[in-house]
Amino acid sequence: MKDIILLKQGEVVLKGLNKRYFEQKLLTNVRKRLKPLGNFHVYCVQSTVYVEPEDDAADMDAAFEAMKHVFGVIALTRAAACEKNEDAIFEKAREYLREDMENAASFKVESRRSDKSFHMTSIQLSQYVGGLLAEAFPDTRVDVRHPELVVHLEVRDYAAYVHAAPVPGAGGMPVGSNGRAVTLLSGGIDSPVSSYMIARRGVKLVPLHFFSFPYTSEAAKEKVIELARLLVPACGPMCLEVAPFTHIQEEIRAKCPEEYFTLIMRRFMMRIAERVAERNSCKAIVTGENLGQVASQTMEAMAVTHCVTGLPVLQPLVGMDKEEIVRHARAIGTFETSILPYEDCCTVFTPRHPRTKPKLSEVEAAEAALDVAALVDESVNGIERIWIDLES
């Protein structure tokens, strides 16, 4: 019997009559993620997803690493399968965990008996295998309270499995199980984190970037493409939509009061995002806004910005401080790319004294000098689409 990977489901196990729907989404995502790594048999039994290699060409090391990033998996472990016989289970534990046992100062055995027809109870199996392991590794003492190593035994429907402690998975819900959303992806620290966090809640993302050439360079656009690539292992393949934004910003600068530049710019972003959402069957817009972080992210400013769309605006970072966001960015691997010194359209034509508590009537009056519908149409019609997956 070959090694396998066991994936423990998180929130999915709490679902009721629709649990099967979420499990199928998870299985689909796992299969897609494993496809470039070889042939695997993937199935679910008793809220555990089994990943079995079908031939020796399957890359188990790469598969295990890939499964750490799949949303919906709370923990995972690489396990060795054997016959459902206590002596076979001991032999497999001694062989498979030899290095772990030799390096640990203490150990204990924990057993789970999902197959209730197995003739030993969980406690009996733990005692039996634990006693034999203590004899086989006399330098490793038994410690049932604070062991350095826990030997896990599972007796399930088709086989018994031996493994050490599981490692944490990505958690959350399977991508695609909670619909689709447009996420505003800039080149900064916040938006990749907000995108990741919403994808972790089971949302399939359509990233939208606003590009103001020549005020923002091709290098700045490449930076955003790289950020999208870094999100793909967890969020799945995405089509990055790059909307031309130069004309809109130039019109705002030429015809609107300076103090409203950023607010009017963000209102255009929301309108364009809504159009992109309609075209991609998305039900929400995701932003990296954080309450009070900048002038355009006060409650009054966000209310003025969001009111131009009828879609929900999801703001996963709204209550975080910057240090928390940076920690998340480091954890998901986007921080170093985000801080590369390339300009972003949000820094173009920044007002010297922006309004922090704007009134909607004042912003609408300032915006009346623009042909809003024509500018939105021009940007939407000029969108460039870039497909990004693991191999791009």
Predicted confidence (pLDDT) per residue in 120-166, tens digit? 999 999 999 999 999 999 999 999 999 999 999 999 888 899 998 88
Strands annotated E in 228-303: 238-244, 285-286
The binding site for ATP consists of 184-185, 209-210, 266, 288, 297
Which pLDDT score is estimated for 1?
60
**Residue 392 pLDDT > 70, yes or no?**
no
Neighbours of 150 (CB within 10 A): 16
Predicted confidence (pLDDT) per residue in 185-196, tens digit? 998 999 999 999
Mean per-residue pLDDT over the chain, rounded? 93
Neighbours of 118 (CB within 10 A): 18
Which pLDDT score is estimated for 184?
97
Predicted confidence (pLDDT) per residue in 279-297, tens digit? 999 999 999 999 888 877 8
236: left (phi over 0), alpha (psi -120 to 50) or beta: left
Assigned token pair, 19? 């649990």
Q: Are 91 and 168 a contacting pair, CB within 8 Å?
A: no
347 vs 124, 188, 265, 342, 350, CA distance in Å? 66, 11, 11, 11, 6
Encode 19-33: b = buried (16+ Cβ within 10 Å), e = exposed: eeebbebbbebbeeb
Predicted confidence (pLDDT) per residue in 253-267, tens digit? 999 999 999 999 999
The binding site consists of 184-185, 209-210, 266, 288, 297
Q: How far apart are CA 245 and CA 258, in angstroms?
A: 18
Of 214, 217, 167, 145, residue with least CA distance to 187 = 217
Q: How far apart are CA 74 and CA 181, in angstroms?
A: 24
